[in-house]
Amino acid sequence: MTEQERNEIKSKLIELGFCGTDDEGDPTADEKALGVLLERMEERLAVGLLLSTDFADAVRKTREVRVLGVGIDHPLAAGDDLFAAICRTALALPDFLRQHPECARDGKVKV
């Protein structure tokens, strides 16, 4: 990701309520901040997230994140690395939950 992409993603994550302006770290580049982002994403989901790590992904040098649950296996986003894939998944999550409210925790879509 370029610095401009990182800044745009961080701004959008703040807008969507995944990050606060006073949060420590940068989820686009810091593992601890990325972990906090993942926790906040999971708080909105009644299903799980799966980061693909199969051989094809390693060859393509991409990581894909999918939503997995009973009767659902839906790709959300991909990126060149773990940070990009998870951050882009957070950006895609609100639209996904509007389309699949059954996947939202307690049936409530927080967007």
What pLDDT score was predicted for residue 109?
61
Three-state DSSP state, 79 = strand
Query: How far is residue 75's CA from residue 73's CA, in Å, rounded to a whole number?
Result: 7
What pLDDT score was predicted for residue 107?
63
Query: How far is residue 2's CA from residue 46's CA, in Å, rounded to a whole number?
Result: 33
Say which residue the tokens 């997230």 belong to: 49
Given a cut of 80, whether residue 30 has pLDDT beyond it is: yes
Given a cut of 60, whether residue 3 has pLDDT beyond it is: yes
Say which residue the tokens 């998944």 belong to: 89
Tell me: the pLDDT tens digits for 34-87? 999 999 999 998 888 777 655 455 556 678 888 888 788 888 898 888 899 999
> What is the maximal distance between C-alpha atoms in the chain?
38
Contact 53, 65 (CB under 8 A): no
